[in-house]
């Protein structure tokens, strides 16, 4: 009797585990989506069933930024809903919940661990890339940015509207507004203007009940949590209302290398002591890395010092001479440009400069100037193209 009971318990346990592992039927989920949306905003074109078709694969891969995770998890992934209207988000939340399916929201797809497009339990991806509109209001110095927009797109829109407004967010232009702002966000305007979330005034969020809320209707607790508490925990952000900040028309950037042999260790040590005392207009990073030495086959360490200054090169030179003369900064190391061009400089510079200097030798500087004049928004580009840096 005792043995029979044990076997029965085991059988029950196995069936419960199996039930938990069973993939829910995608058809039920899709039917629910159709039922929950209006034909005025048809959802059919937004749904990609997880199969081996090219359409599904291209929908999965477009925003899978960590190339380690190029293969979709067919076992667990039911579908991708690439929402085109807020009603699609609302329906996806409700239908995922009622079908016992986990929801992963993806905006720019830059989550390094792939949390926005991978899961160990049955799941659907709610992809926000179609919802990427940006409206900038110069007079109130505010903008609305939808989650699917990238930081690069936001920077372009701001610079089209004003030469003296900016937004303090991350360096990588393909990062999505959805995940970036949810996580806090920081970039080269950090010392002057703090974190990205310090400049969020309102948000539209679809909550766990599939209801669209704004700051007033979600309340201050939830509004606090979504500004830095990390994406994917509190709801789906449809859009952020952000406060833009003032920047001068001319800003200055530099990038200077110091190897161990050139006294890099001493400069790095002094940088640690002085960099927190710089004026807030100056942000300077140090990045030690292994590089080739002067002799063949020899390796050394070079510390790369990057800086961005809200002002002219002359003013920056005088600050550096006083605070960190050991760096030996020269006027020719300093490049004056608009805030928008600084974003291109940091986005394109590291890779393009290494390649460009080797390939174009002394012509790189001039090529960058020509590029800045004739294609300042960098329409024609690839991984090795010339960055449009204004060197004035």
Ligand X SMILES: Cc1cc2nc3c(=O)[nH]c(=O)nc-3n(C[C@H](O)[C@H](O)[C@H](O)COP(=O)(O)OP(=O)(O)OC[C@H]3O[C@@H](n4cnc5c(N)ncnc54)[C@H](O)[C@@H]3O)c2cc1C
Which residues contact ligand X (rule: CB under 6 A)?
Answer: 104-112, 115-116, 128, 147, 170-172, 175-176, 178-180, 182-183, 185-187, 231-232, 236-237
- The Cα 66–Cα 331 span in angstroms is 39
- The Cα 345–Cα 339 span in angstroms is 10
Task: Report, in Å, the least distance between residue 15 CB and ligand X.
Answer: 32
Name which of 37 and 239 has its Cβ closer to ligand X: 239
Angle at the Cα of 269 from the Cα atoms of 268 and 273, rounded to 5 degrees: 110
β-pair type (123-127, 77-82): parallel
Task: Report, in Å, the least distance between residue 124 CB and ligand X.
Answer: 12
Name which of 313 and 347 has its Cβ closer to ligand X: 347
Name which of 131 and 389 has its Cβ closer to ligand X: 131
SS3 333: helix
Q: Of all helices (H) and strands (E), which one includes residue 287?
A: strand 282-292
Name which of 122 and 170 has its Cβ closer to ligand X: 170
Name which of 103 and 364 has its Cβ closer to ligand X: 103
CB of 335 closer than 8 Å to CB of 254: yes
Both tokens of 381, joined, read 């580009």
A 10 A CB-CB count for 88 gives 24
Name which of 174 and 312 has its Cβ closer to ligand X: 174
Task: Report, in Å, the least distance between residue 5 CB and ligand X.
Answer: 44
A 10 A CB-CB count for 248 gives 16
Task: Report, in Å, the least distance between residue 116 CB and ligand X.
Answer: 3
β-pair type (245-246, 142-146): unpaired
Torsion, Cα 140 145 150 154, to 10 degrees, reads -20
Angle between helices 339-360 and 151-161 (to 10 degrees): 120
280: which DSSP letter? Answer: T
Name which of 110 and 258 has its Cβ closer to ligand X: 110
Task: Report, in Å, the least distance between residue 265 CB and ligand X.
Answer: 27
């Amino acid at each position: 009797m005792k043995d029979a009971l044990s076997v029965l318990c085991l059988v029950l346990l196995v069936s419960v585990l199996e039930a938990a592992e069973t993939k829910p039927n995608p058809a039920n989920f899709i039917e629910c989506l159709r039922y929950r949306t209006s034909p005025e905003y048809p959802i059919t074109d937004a749904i990609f069933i997880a199969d081996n078709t090219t359409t599904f694969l291209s929908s999965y891969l477009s925003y899978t930024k960590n190339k380690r995770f190029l293969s979709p998890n067919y076992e667990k992934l039911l579908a991708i809903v690439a929402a085109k209207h807020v009603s699609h988000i609302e329906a996806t939340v409700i239908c995922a919940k009622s079908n016992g399916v986990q929801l992963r929201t993806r905006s720019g797809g830059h989550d390094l661990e792939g949390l926005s497009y991978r899961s160990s339990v049955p799941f659907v991806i709610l992809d926000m890339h179609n919802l990427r509109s940006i409206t900038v209001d110069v007079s109130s110095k505010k903008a609305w940015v939808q989650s699917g927009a990238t930081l690069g797109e936001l920077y372009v829109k701001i610079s089209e509207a004003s030469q003296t407004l900016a937004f303090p967010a991350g360096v990588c232009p393909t990062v999505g507004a959805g995940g970036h702002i949810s996580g806090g966000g920081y970039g080269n305007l950090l010392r002057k203007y703090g974190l990205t979330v310090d400049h969020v005034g309102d948000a539209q969020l679809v909550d766990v009940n599939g209801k669209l809320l704004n700051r007033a209707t979600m309340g201050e607790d939830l509004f606090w949590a979504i500004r830095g508490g990390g994406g994917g925990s509190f709801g789906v952000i449809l859009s952020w209302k952000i406060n833009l900040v003032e920047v001068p028309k001319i800003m200055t950037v530099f990038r200077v290398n110091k190897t161990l042999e050139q006294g890099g260790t001493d400069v790095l040590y002094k940088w640690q002591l002085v960099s927190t005392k710089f004026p807030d207009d100056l942000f300077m990073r140090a990045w030690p890395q292994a590089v080739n030495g002067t002799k063949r086959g020899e390796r050394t360490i070079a510390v790369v010092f990057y800086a961005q200054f809200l002002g002219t090169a002359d003013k920056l030179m005088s600050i550096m001479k006083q605070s960190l003369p050991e760096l030996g900064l020269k006027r020719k190391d300093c490049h004056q440009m608009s805030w928008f061009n600084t974003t291109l400089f940091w986005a394109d510079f590291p890779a393009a400069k290494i390649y460009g200097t080797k390939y174009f030798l002394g012509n790189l500087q001039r090529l960058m100037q020509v590029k800045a004049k004739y294609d300042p928004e960098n329409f024609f580009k690839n991984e090795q193209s010339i960055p449009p840096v204004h060197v004035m």
